[in-house]
Structures are given as structure tokens and as C-alpha cells.
Chain A
Amino acid sequence: MEELFGQFSIGLFIMQTILFVGLIFLLKKFAWKPILDAVNEREEGIKNALLSAENAKKEMQNLKSDNEKLLAEARLERDAMIKEAREIKEKMVNDAKTEAQVAGQKMIEQAKASIESEKNAAMAELKAQVSTLSLDIAEKLLKDELSNKEAQTKLVEKMLGDVKLN
């Protein structure tokens, strides 16, 4: 201990303290502050760059998913449209079919009705003609009968023969 502190120089101690404190302040102003500031600034810059890159990546992903969503929506819409179109088409075809059927039925019925009425008309005409003809025959017969008995008979026979032929 004696040996240790025997060489202790108070003056050196004081000088060293002053010099060292001076050195700290000098270096602080001219070296450490600019160095640490610059390093911090640089690190901040790197951090920010990384962050913005990450953000850009996220944005990209968002855009991609948005796109996919849009695509999926579009696909769905298309499918729905196709389905609707198909349904409309089927409905139209069915409608047309039923309409045609109804129209056909109606036409058939009309035709049937007109046939019936034609037939009735024809029958009525035939009946009228037959009655007229019968009346004519009866008239003629009566006329002949009235004039010639033989001829009248012949005529009746002949007329009857005609009727049979008809």
C-alpha cells in the first residue's frame, strides 16, 4: 500500500481530471454527437425503408386479394346471368309451346264447329232439295196421272227406278 500510494502525484491527478473532463466535452461536441446523430438517423432511415417496403407488400397483397374478389364476383354474376338466361329461354319455349297448343286446340275446335255447321247446312240443303225434288216428282206425276193413266204409271215407275239408282 505504501509503495502504491507513495508515487501518487496530486498534480498529475488534478491535471488528468481537468484534461479528461475537457476531452469528454470536446469530443461530445465535435465527435460523439454528430456520430451518434448520424448513425441514429441512418438507422431510422433503414427502419422506415423496411416499414414502407412491408407496407407496399401488404398493399400488393390487398390489391391481389381485391382482384381475386372482383374476379370471383364477376364469375358469380356471369353464372347467375347464364342461369337466368337459360331459365328465360326455357320459360319462353314452354310458353310458346302452351300457346301453340292452345291455338291449335282452338283452331281444331273452330274447324270442328265449322265442319258441323257446314254439315248441318248441307243436310238442310239436301233435305230442302229432296223435298223440292219430291214435290217436283209428285207434281209431274200428278200432272201425268192426270193426263194419261198409263203414262202416269210408267212415269212413276221410271221415277222410282231413278230414285233407286240414286
Chain B
Amino acid sequence: MVFSKKPLQFIIAALVAFFPLISIANPTGDSTHVAVEATHEVASKSHEAHGETANLSEEQKADLERKAYIKHHLMDSHDFTLFTYGGEEHPTHVGFPLPVILWDGGLHVFSSSKFEHGEAVAESNGNYYKINHHDGLVYKTDADGNFTEDAKGHVTNAKPIDFSITKNIFMILVVGLILFMVFAGLGKSYKKNGSIAKGAGRFFEPIILYIRDDIAIPNIGEKHYKKYMSFLLTIFFFIWFLNMFGLTPLGVNITGNLAITASLALITYLITTFTAKKDYWGHIFWMPGVPVPMKFILAPIELLGTIIKPFSLMIRLYANMVAGHIVLMSLIALMYTFNSPIGSPLSFFLAFVLSLLEILVALLQAYIFTMLAALYFGAAVEEHHHDEHHEAAHH
């Protein structure tokens, strides 16, 4: 192992490994504070969980808190919080604020520290904005930060378009930078070392070759695969790296965000649609080799299929990552729920095993997304030679 040779790195790795224990332990550890929560009931009217806590036992309160924590973790955030301590009453967030960029009839740019972690109303150029606790989105409010809700409990406030550098965008930029450094470095190393990879990027060369030889070429074909390679390689490493970051105690859940996976799926769909050859559309609108009435029935089904395919890509990645995060965090939370020398280590062991599984899932989901994208591209550029085949058979 390289780590053991470098004590500093080892210490940092160990420190990072202990982050989740701190960040999760504190709010629940200070569950005694919840007893005084009743006094805050009025102030936090919008926070459902708080309103109901008055009639619940301490254990139930702690459970609700854990649930809220998990839910909060799955959402995007406008500031980067590494961990929080001090309980609900005087929470101290350790992290840094990120810029908020809103489009609401004009550009509003301010620091997310104005929100005070969702507690305060932020004022910008005469408009007032507040983060809703339930969906983590920014809404336009009045000066007091009141939300209006309809009968179903949906917030009816106006929603500005939020181009903020949120936690997710920040991590995407970080991962983009890492990808750029690693692979641009790998690209340069070939020239310097006479076509032999060197440096950290070396580890990824077999993976690049695997994507080319076992994903792109068999699915797309030798003739067309080259123009899709950039997309396939980028999406594979992008998803994989983000998934891996999701497993670190940084607490980011990027590939488990529907907006992110929807964007990836949309790009896949657009590439498939705009690079599709005549045969692809022929197979959708006028399926060859079936009776004419069937052609009319198949056309809408096939057309719908082109949208369902990327839609399934979006849901698959989103659901897998969210499920992984929820299960993993629930198991970690179980340690505190059990609160016994037998149950807690057992729960820890389970969480540990599941973490290992999640590492596999992180890679697997990246592979599946890339594989299926390649498959769809392959269908788009596939060249059918029905007539030629038939003629050849007759001769």
C-alpha cells in the first residue's frame, strides 16, 4: 500500500474516515436538548417535525431527527457544511458559504451566509428570498419569510430560477477539475514517455481501453464508435467519481439528484436523436418486415420507446444512488437507535459491509449508464441491410 509509506496521508485518511461519526453523533447525542424544544414551537411553525415533538417521547424525537437528517442529506444545499454540532438549539455549522445566483426578473447574486443555513430571510435588491425546509429550494417571500401553502401542502410562493453554485454544483466543479487534471495529465504523459502512460492517470488507462474495446466497439460498431468516445468516457468517469464522492463523509449526493441524472439522460437522448441515421427513424416510423397495420401500431410504441430509454437511465441512476444513501445512513443511525453494546457494533458491521457494496454499486451504476448509452447510440447508427441480405440469399 502506498498510504502506509506516507504517514501524513494516512493520518488525513483516518481523520476523514472519522468525519461521519462526528457529524452524525452530535445532533443525536445531544438529544436531551430536545426537551426544551417546546418553547421554540411557535418560532418554527413551518417545521412539521418540531410541531409534533411536544407529545413524543425522547426516543421518538431522536428518531424523527435522524429521519430529518437523512432527508436533509439527500437534498442539495446552498452552503457547504462539513459537520454540525451544538444540537438543535445552538447549532454550529462547520463549512463555508457558497455564492447564490438567482434569476428573478434580474440577476441577484449574494453569499449563502445571508440565509444563515435556511433560518433567515435574505434580501437582495429589494426582493426577499428564503429556503424552504422541505425541498431545499429558494422561494421568493415577503420580508418576514412566510410561505403560503395550498390545500395539498405545496408551497405556492414564486420560485426564482436558481443558478447558485450549490453544494452539488461545487462538487461537480471539483470533480470536473479532478477529471481534467488526471486525464489531461495522462494525455500529456504519452508524449513525454514515448507512448507509455505515466503518473496517476496510468491506473485509468485500462479502464479507458475497457470502455473502448468492451463497451463502445461491440455496441456501436467499429465504424462509428469514435465520435461517441468523448461522451462515453466523460460520462463514465463523471458518474463514477461523483458516486465515489457520495460515499465520502463530505455528504454529497449528486448522482442521487434528479436534476443531475435528468440532465445526463437528456444529453444522452439528444446525442442519440441528432446522430441517428436513416435506418433508426425507419425502424421507428415504418418498421420493416411486418404487415402494414402493425407498422401503424408499432410507430407510436417505438416513438415512446425513444423517450422511455433515457428516462429509465435517469431513474435508474437516481434511484440506485438515493437508495444506497438512505440505507447506509439508516444503518449508521441504527447504531444510535440500538444504543447497546451488541446492537450498535452489529449495525456498524452492517453499515461497513454495505459501504463496501456501495463502492461496487458506484462503479456498477457508472458502467450501466455508459453501457446503455452506448447501446442506444449503437441502435441510432446501426445500418441494416435487409434487402441485400435477401438478395444474397436468393443467389
Identify the closest chain A residue to B190 (Cβ).
Answer: A38
Kindly identify which residue among B162, B176, B205 contacts A9, using a CB–CB cutoff of 8 Å. B162
Interface residues of B in 142-189 (CB under 8 A from A): 154, 161-164, 166, 168-169, 172-173, 176, 179-180, 183-184, 186-188
Tell which of B135, B195, B257 touches A38, judged by Cβ atoms closer than 8 Å.
B195
- Write the A2-33 contact mask toward B (1 if CB under 8 angstroms, else 0): 00111111111111110111011111101111
B366: shortest Cβ distance to chain A, in Å? 14
Q: How far is the CA of A13 from the CA of B258 in the complex (A)?
A: 9
| Residue A39 at the chain B interface, CB threshold 8 Å | yes
**Complex Cα gap A23–B134 (Å):** 32
Complex CA gap A27/B180 in Å reads: 6
Given contacts A8-B258, A27-B230, contact A35 B186 (CB under 8 A): yes
Please name the residue on chain A nearest to B168 by beta carbon.
A12
- Residues of A18-68 whose CB lies within 8 A of B: 19-21, 23-28, 30-36, 38-39, 41-42, 45
A35 with B195: in contact, given A16-B259, A27-B233 (CB under 8 Å)? no
Contact of B137 with A20 in the complex, beta carbons under 8 Å: no
CA separation between A31 and B191, bound complex, in Å?
Answer: 12
The residue from B209, B257, B267 contacting A20, defined by CB atoms under 8 A apart: B267
Additional pairs, 11, CB under 8 Å, beyond known A6-B135, A10-B161, A14-B161: A4-B258, A12-B166, A13-B262, A16-B168, A17-B266, A19-B169, A20-B172, A23-B234, A27-B184, A34-B191, A41-B195
The 3 closest A-B pairs by CB, nearest first: A31-B183, A38-B190, A34-B187
Some 20 contacts from A to B, beta carbons below 8 A apart, are A5-B258, A6-B154, A9-B137, A11-B162, A12-B259, A17-B263, A19-B176, A20-B267, A21-B267, A23-B180, A23-B234, A26-B180, A27-B183, A32-B183, A32-B230, A32-B234, A34-B188, A38-B190, A38-B195, A39-B209
